[in-house]
Amino acid sequence: SSMLAWILEYAGMQPGFLIGGVPGNFGQSAAIGNTPFFVIEADEYDTAFFDKRSKFIHYHPRTLVINNLEFDHADIFADLAAIQTQFHHLIRTVPAEGLVITPHAIPAIEQTLERGCWTPRQTLNDVQADWQLAETAEDGHSFTVQHNQNTGKVDWSLLGQHNVNNALAAIAAAHHVGVTVEHACEALNQFKGVKRRLELRGECRGIKVYDDFAHHPTAIATTLQGLRANIGQQRLIAVLEPRSNTMKMGVHEHTLAASLNAADMVILYQDPQLTWSLDNIQQQLGDGSVLLRNIDDVVEQLVNQSKSGDHIVVMSNGGFGGIHQKILDALNND
């Protein structure tokens, strides 16, 4: 959504937007805009305590991008099928002259569309898809977009295959409202990212500290894999606080350890209010991992263990007690 809003802004369309983060190109998460174009980041979370329908049911988009469909928000939904029902309600709100954009052949999305989709659809990122990628760098810092006979090259500062996939979806959505592939790629070359999305918070003694809004094993894995591809053999330290409602319920317990595989060292923070133990995750990770129950202990561990060239990624969708600045201050004072 941040990418799409910036592409439209770069194209002179002055869109409004409402986004769950703060895009670097705008410095704010929302704007009214000066044209009929409006970009909104939406998910299946319920609308209000008196309206349990998903929020996105109320938006009635003309262009809809579904970039993934996984089980989340376990405090609201019983299973994936319940979420798919809400997504199908959303698909039915898109008009016949609109467009639905999805990745190619994602089972959960295909099952949802099979319930009925009467709007044109375009697919992404497959040899049989309408929109394709080529010449993608391993870390995702550059790639080529192909659509029919149109091509464009992106060379930007973002990392990870998830960002490449999001960019392709944003370009496809912008194309639906008249932006050329080439112009959209030019915009993304100047895209500054989003706060708390692998955001570099500072560097001290050659040690880089990042902040990432990790809330789901898939997001954790793709973020760490993207950074790993960029830094090569330099040491990657992941610091994780399970913070989202779904995380705190332990729903992702069986996939969390595997999502951290790209890290050389993992520090798990067991918040006193977390109702399940991270001991099993730590045991699965084995050597190179540690479980701590105090933020000051986490900071001390990092100061003692880190060295020049290390990359520390703090992963939480909460404030984590201001740990990012505490780490930088402690490194500076050590």
Q: For 100-122, what is each residue's pLDDT tens digit?
A: 999 998 999 999 999 999 999 99
Degrees, nearest 5: CA angle 68-276-323:
75
pLDDT confidence of 61, banded at 50, 70, 90?
very high
Degrees, nearest 5: CA angle 72-260-211:
80
* Percent of the chain's residues with pLDDT above 70: 100
The position carrying tokens 């692998």 is: 198
pLDDT at res. 132: 96
Nearest to 55 by CA among 68, 44, 66, 39: 44
Taking 90 as the threshold, does the pLDDT of residue 334 lie above it?
no
Mean pLDDT of the chain, nearest integer: 93
Nearest to 212 by CA among 295, 316, 311, 140: 316
Taking 90 as the threshold, does the pLDDT of residue 204 lie above it?
yes
- pTM here is 0.88
257 vs 255: CA distance, rounded Å: 6
Length of the chain: 334
Query: How many alpha carbons lie under 13 Å from residue 329 in its C-beta half-sphere?
Result: 7
Which residues fall within 8 angstroms of residue 13, CB to CB, at 6 or more apart? 35, 37, 177, 179
pLDDT at res. 56: 93
Specify the CATH number of the domain 2-188: 3.40.1190.10
Q: Report, as an integer, the average pLDDT of 185-192.
A: 98
Give the model confidence (pLDDT) of 305-329 as tens digits.
Answer: 999 999 999 999 888 989 999 999 9
pLDDT at res. 8: 99
Superfamily of domain 199-333: Mur ligase, C-terminal domain (3.90.190.20)
Contact 315, 196 (CB under 8 A): no
The token duo for 184 is 């959209």
* Percent of the chain's residues with pLDDT above 90: 78
Using DSSP bridges, classify how beta strands 131-134 and 142-147 pair: parallel, antiparallel or unpaired: antiparallel
Distances (CA, A) of 54 to 16, 61, 263: 22, 14, 35
Taking 90 as the threshold, does the pLDDT of residue 175 lie above it?
yes
pLDDT at res. 192: 96
Q: Where in the chain is the domain with CATH 3.90.190.20?
A: 199-333
Q: Where in the chain is the domain with CATH 3.40.1190.10?
A: 2-188
Nearest to 280 by CA among 299, 252, 300: 252
pLDDT at res. 223: 92
pLDDT at res. 185: 98
Distances (CA, A) of 271 to 210, 242, 293, 313, 321: 20, 8, 6, 18, 11
3 state SS of 75: coil
pLDDT at res. 273: 83
